[in-house]
Structure 1
Amino acid sequence: MSTQVSAKPRVAVLFGGRSSEHAISCVTAAGVLAAIDRERYDVVPVGITRAGRWVLVPDDPTLFELTGGKLPEVPAAGTRVALAQEVSEGALQNLDEPAAGVAALQRVDVVLPLLHGPFGEDGTLQGLLELSDTRYVGSGVLASAVSMDKQAMKVLLEGAGLRVGPWTSFHARRWAADEAGCRAEVEALGYPVFVKPARAGSSIGISRVQGPGELAAAVAEAVAHDPKVVVEAAVSGREIECGVLEDLAGGEPRTSVPGEVEVVGDHDFYDFEAKYLDSAGVRLTCPADLPAEVVASVRRTAVRVFEAMGAEGLARVDLFVDPERGEEGIVVNEINTMPGFTPHSMFPRMWAATGVDYPELVDHLLQLALQRPTGLR
């Protein structure tokens, strides 16, 4: 198995994608493209359109920034590229000018996959990269897949002895065949509940349900994004997040100081609009104002979650915390293996507060990926 890379590694920054989180991926890429040190890395920006076309895009972060509430998008125009069909051919091939363009694009030392949601963060892209022996940033196939699936994630976390809130899950076909049975399971959780697509992110398709009369509409909204639905009981506590990074020297994963999310505007919860379109509606505090012993517990729990899921590279762990109850007051909400990475996102903000600035954070992730062996691991 190969472990050699060139003196100045070439990085393919991959973003966009077919999921409903396409625009958020573009915004993340704008931040990362602006932060990569061009003295240390050659950069090849590759956008994936909503239709799934891989195209070379200009190396201009401003094209993909969120400005004036307008969500960015990968344009369909551009030279089409694809991963090589044989390992020996290199990582990228030019589909439009194969004779002239292959040599320039052939070598890619590492892929930085900044895709959120299905077809990117869920193990599908990771499997494709594994097939071509291409190094990449972040978790592998299994950890990506189970972390994306809220039902599978909760089962694994509970199996590892971690505390999660009360929940249930059902498929759209079961709802259609046995709505009464599904309703009884939800009723046992007690209202209010949160109804979510099992495999989506950025709070897309999530509804806060106050009572039985709102449940059918919420299930329909979730099913529009994923046939598998997860329903969670509301958990009391402060919304705390903690970043995790693998250690370059192979030691225990590092953790950031925790941050806190508070919804202060006219939003029922931390939904898509609050996250990305209404900055006045949410307060992000970092570091979170927590007692030192609670901070230590949060950071220990974040490492436990990271390791229980078999995550690699990076993750953001989201928790509910009741500081009055110590360890007993920490409930795991979820793990995100490719968290929002705009300069204003909580993940890089937490690391900045810990002493790792945005460019250094990106460099750390690329160096981790370049250490990664290719082939069977």
Structure 2
Amino acid sequence: MSQKNLIVAFGGVSPEHEVSVLTAIQAISALEESTYNCIPLYVTKSGRWLTGKKLLDLSNYKELSSLEKESISCAFVKDETGKTFLKEQESKGLFSKPKNYPVYAVLCAFHGSEGENGAFQGVCEMMDVPYSGSGVLGSSLGMDKVKAKLVAAANGIPVTKAVNFYESDWEQEQEEILNVAEDFDYPLIVKPVSLGSSIGVAIANDREELINSVETAFRYDAHLLIEEAVNPLMEINCSVIGTPSDCRPSICEKPLGQTETLSFEDKYQSGEGAEKGMASADREIPADISKELTKKIQNLATKTFSALDASGLARLDFLVNANTKEVYFNEINTIPGSFSFYLWDKSDLPFDKLLEELIEIGLKKHREKNGRVRSYETNLLSEKAIKGIKGLKGSKN
């Protein structure tokens, strides 16, 4: 059986750049025995697009500057028939020629910023190539914690009390923002609105800590969120796969961190090895909670997935009051670290089969989209139409 070119896109201009590299290499390794020919599309921290075999070896990422020099610039291009290729824009060998790879599908393995917020998905839409994961709307909603919570609340999904503000608001209305936040009572959680992996997240126990946490978080994002804390807190996560109209949940997990709120280090630098990405984090799978609470969270996960127009695969994180068992939606990760394969593996769906299903969902969405009427057969620039448009210049209201 001939192999199909699967473009694995990862990296990006994001604080989660390295995490994305780990996720991509894990996925490529899992698909070694598949019918896909995995072609790396690495987006550097400065935004350059690169490809090449050296990008398939995780050890080469220890020296990023050397890796970039030894890799090949590339871009999506279309031929005269409209078919999309990943085109090498240079050659690295004396007798080698730049290659063109016909694109069968794109596996999106970005985390954060332009790779996960819908921007790259928009490029795929423009180039008319199938891609994994949520579309432009679902991706952008998932990246914006404020908008995601607004949509969730509008659909009857419980969320914690919060106040959000921009850096300009903080400069002009700091006292008012602090007063609103302090109405929730300490401790309070400070978060960048558009980042993941707990980057910039902090717990504040008094006003001084709150101000310091806000000032630190502004290093990462111009839009912040201060939320009331759930106390005593139990975090429970659940992954969902499918489409807004047809999706199913995984088993639940309980992350185990060294702090009350999981840090970047808890997620990626604990457990048995950082090279395993999110799979290395300490966690309890399945979560040691009641069947009733498990079912409640799974139902909320699929409901939220659909409400946010998510697609493909996502992980939804929930905050649970350990005493009352009240559940609050925290956030959705539309491209979760390590594709949350550790949840699906325990749900009897191995990593390679999980990725294949994720790709198939993207292919199906692409077929359905292209099966609709996508243009209106008229030429507004025809001679007759242009005359009509010219006539509008003389019209008055």
Unaligned runs of 5+ in 1: 1-5
**1:92-131 equivalences in 2 (<5 Å):** 92-96=86-90, 104-131=99-126
Distance apart, 1:234 and its partner CA: 0.7
Residue pair 2:40, 2:56 contacting (<8 A) in 1 also: no
Q: Quote the offset at 1:275 in angstroms.
A: 1.2
Q: Per-residue deviation at 1:106?
A: 3.8
Q: Which residue of 1 aligns with 2:349?
A: 356
Larger Rg: 2
| Cα distance in 2, alignment partners of residues 59 and 41 from structure 1 | 18
Alignment correspondent of 1:315:
314
> 1: distance between equivalents of 2:162 and 2:338?
29
Which of 53, 78, 97 is the equivalent residue of 1:58?
53
How far apart, CA to CA, are the structure 1 residues paired with 2:308 and 2:39? Answer: 31
What do residues 118-153 of structure 1 show as CA deviations (whole Å, max 9, x unaligned)? 010001111111110011000000110011011111
Match of 2:10 in 1: 15
| Alpha-carbon contact 1:196-1:229 (below 8 Å) kept | yes
Q: What is the rounded CA distance, in whole Å, between the counterparts of 1:371 and 1:289 in structure 2?
A: 36
Provide the residue aligned with 1:3 in structure 2: none
Residues 1:153 and 2:153 are matched in the alignment: no
**Aligned equivalents of 2:329, 2:125: Cα separation in 1:** 30
Matched, 1:341 2:329: no
Q: CA deviation at 1:64?
A: 5.5
CA RMSD of aligned residues (A): 2.7
Counterpart of 1:238 in structure 2 is 234
Structure 2: distance between partners of 1:74 and 1:145: 33
Q: 1:7 Cα deviation (Å)?
A: 6.1
Please show how residues 1-377 of structure 1 align to structure 2 within 5 Å: 8-58=3-53, 61-63=56-58, 75-77=67-69, 78-84=71-77, 88-96=82-90, 104-236=99-231, 237-246=233-242, 252-263=246-257, 265=258, 267-279=259-271, 283-322=282-321, 325=324, 329-341=326-338, 347-373=340-366
| Partner Cα separation in structure 1 for residue 65 and residue 252 of structure 2 | 31
Structure 1 residue 38: Cα displacement:
4.0
TM-aligned CA distance change 1:22 to 1:14, over 3 Å: same
CA distance in 2, matches of 1:183, 1:372: 45
Query: What's the secondary structure of 2:317's corresponding residue?
Result: strand
Deviates more, 1:238-247 or 1:275-284: 275-284
What letter matches 1:174 in structure 2?
D
Which residue identity is paired with 1:368? I
Distance 1:153 1:73 in 2: 37
Aligned-partner Cα distance in 2 for 1:88–1:135: 14
Alignment check: 8 A CA contact 1:206 1:221 kept: no
Task: Give, in whole Å, the separation in 1 of the partners of 2:323 and 2:218.
Answer: 37
Change (3 A) 1:331 1:166: same
Q: Please give the alpha-carbon distance, in whole angstroms, between the structure 2 residues aligned to 1:126 and 1:364.
A: 18
How much has 1:360 moved relative to structure 2?
Answer: 1.3
Report if aligned partners of 1:26, 1:74 keep a CA contact under 8 Å in 2.
Answer: no
Percent identity between the two aligned chains? 29
| CA 209–101 in structure 1, closer or farther in 2 if over 3 Å, else same | farther
Change in Cα spacing, 1:324 to 1:65, as seen in structure 2 (3 Å) is farther
Unaligned runs of 5+ in 2: 273-279, 373-397
Count of aligned pairs? 357
**Partner in structure 1 of residue 394 of structure 2:** none
Cα distance in 2, alignment partners of residues 101 and 136 from structure 1: 27
**AA aligned opposite 1:88:** G
